[in-house]
Amino acid sequence: MNKLILGVGLMACSGLILAEPGPATPDVTPVVKKPFPHISWVSDDGDASLDVGGALRTNFRDEHWDTSENHDRWLFDTFRLDVQAKYKKTYADVGYWFQDDGKHSVDHGFAGYKFDNASNLQLGAPFKPFGLEPYPQFGWSYHIPFFMGYGVSAGVGLKYAYKDKDWDLQLGYFPRMLPSDIRYSPEVGRYADLKDNAIAFTQSREDNEKRNQVNARVARNFVNGDWKTEVGASLAASQLYNATTDDNGSYWAAGVHTIISNGPWTATAEGIRYEYDPKNPTGVSNDSVLMGSNGLTPAYLIAAKATLASLNIGYDIYTPRLGQLKKIKIYNDYSRMMKDKSGWDDSQMYTVGAQFIAMPIMAWVDCTWGKNANPYGGAENGTGFTSTSSSLSNQWVYRTNVNIGYYF
């Protein structure tokens, strides 16, 4: 409890006080005509349509610690395809990524049915409803909630969603996780599935996966003059199946979040409490579980029980006299992970940066500091979110990052 109070107090006092990277939601006004090679088709009666868009991005990275290989490196980031189709009340939505190092992933993909303008049902791999959506920060560099599985995280199953001007209600059931080789967002995983990018010495006996997960998220919108506020709560629970013991442990998470805006200012915050109770074989610690995605970053261990807190502040600067550049968004993102186990120090991340919107070009310039957080101070042995026993434990290190994308 003292750690939780300390974390919330630091955020309230600092305000501007931080991962493998990921893009924030494009914060732009939709354009009528998108550039090449965008494809758009609508039937004469308007009952059917097809839209194919996407993005091509490159990335510059400079990691300011000696053991990193990423010093002043320009790299291919991703080529993304977004496909949306509609026929009367049925529709489909897929996001597919071709990433660096030959990796590929599905961040979401589902077929849906609209009951009316407010409610719909999605079947396939929709986003799991939880907390700040879809991204838990403003910046390009992902923060601790994402690495714990609470951002752009999809599962195999179905979701019901209802949204009007006041309420946003989502309910989801996910009997299985997305396969690890096409998973965009990190999730609990077995070493057998993640071994190509895992560390055998510390992770080879990790054999857990979620099954039959249920999620619920409810949010209420308030408007008072220039002030707009969203307040919400989320719950998630699942079995935690261990393939070695053939036994089911459990997982649950609860969260609260808010989004507050007034003119150019926007602040978002969330608090999350989660607990994994694995049924591991004798000799395997229950204090941590293994997380991983499609191998773009190495698999890593996280504390089985922890509390997360985050605060993000953004300020929009509109630039109508600067030609193609229409807006600059300045942001500060901070997140903290407070682990239950005694002796496991907090993980922290802080990002300061700017987003430049000059459609079809969009760019982010980030500087992120991290302490006891993969890939800052834990990447060498995958323990950054647990015992912090790597060579950079309890040290602040930082990374400079520039991402430039062409959106069509």
3-state secondary structure the chain: CHHHHHHHHHHHHHCCCCCCCCCCCCCCCCCCCCCCCCEEEECCCCCEEEEEEEEEEEEEEEECCCCCCCCCEEEEEEEEEEEEEEECCEEEEEEEEEEHHHCEEEEEEEEEEECCCCEEEEEEECECCCCCCCCCCCCCCCCHHHHCCCCCCEEEEEEEEEECCCEEEEEEEEEEECCHHHECCCEECEHHHHHHHCCHHHHCCCEEEEEEEEEEEEEEEEEECCEEEEEEEEEEEEEEEECCCCEEEEEEEEEEEEEEEECCEEEEEEEEEEEEECCCCCCCCCCEEEEECCCCCCCEEEECEEEEEEEEEEEEEECCCCCCCCEEEEEEEEEEEEECCCCCCCEEEEEEEEEEEECCEEEEEEEEEEECECCECCCCCCCCECCCCCCCCCCCEEEEEEEEEEEC
The widest CA-to-CA distance across the chain, in whole angstroms, is 66
Task: Report pLDDT for 353.
Answer: 98
Q: What is the pLDDT of residue 290?
A: 97
Give the mean model confidence (pLDDT) for residues 61-85: 91
| Phi, psi (deg, nearest 5) at residue 172 | -135, 150
pLDDT of residue 69: 80
220-231 burial: b if 16+ Cβ within 10 Å, else e: ebeeeeeeeebe
The answer to which of 13-22, 161-170, 330-339, 374-383 has the lowest mean pLDDT is 13-22
Domain harbouring 391, CATH code: 2.40.160.10
Q: Who wins on pLDDT, 173 or 8?
A: 173
30 phi and psi angles, rounded to 5 deg = -55, 140
CA distance 247 to 384: 28
The count of domains in the chain is 1
Is the peptide bond prior to 134 cis by the omega test (within 30 degrees of 0)? yes
Mean pLDDT of 122-147: 97
Residue 60's domain spans which residues?
Answer: 2-407
Cα dist. 264→152, 329, 331 in Å? 25, 9, 12
pLDDT tens track for 175-234: 999 999 999 999 999 999 999 989 898 899 999 999 999 999 999 999 999 999 999 999
Cβ neighbour number for residue 85 with a 10 Å cutoff: 16
Question: What pLDDT is stored for residue 277 in this prediction?
Answer: 98
Write out pLDDT tens, residues 10-45. 333 333 333 344 445 545 444 458 999 999 999 999
Residue 15 has a pLDDT of 36
Tokens of 124: 């396939």
- CB-based contacts of 72, cutoff 8 Å, min separation 6: 60, 62
Mean pLDDT of the chain: 91
Q: What pLDDT score does 216 carry? A: 98
pLDDT tier at 245 (50, 70, 90 boundaries)? very high
The mean per-residue pLDDT over the stretch 383-401 comes to 88
Looking at residue 389, its pLDDT comes to 78
* 161-172 residue pLDDT tens: 999 999 999 999
CA–CA separation, 113 vs 122, rounded Å? 7
- Which percentage of the chain shows pLDDT scores above 90? 83
Is pLDDT of 316 > 50? yes
Give the pLDDT band of residue 71 (cuts 50, 70, 90).
Answer: confident
Least confident of 26-30, 82-86, 152-156, 263-267: 26-30
Q: Name the residue with tokens 């299985």.
A: 176
| The predicted structure's pLDDT at residue 374 | 85
Q: Give the model confidence (pLDDT) of 281-310 as tens digits.
A: 999 999 999 999 999 989 999 999 999 999
Indicate if the pLDDT at residue 116 is higher than 60. yes
Could you give the CA distance from residue 152 to residue 293 in angstroms, rounded to a whole number? 12
* Model confidence band, residue 6 (pLDDT cutoffs 50, 70, 90): very low
Q: Using 50, 70 and 90 to split pLDDT, how confident is the model at 2?
A: very low
Cα–Cα distance measured from residue 200 to residue 112, given in angstroms and rounded to the nearest whole number: 41
Token output for 34: 């998108």
Backbone phi, psi, residue 216, to 5°:
-145, 135
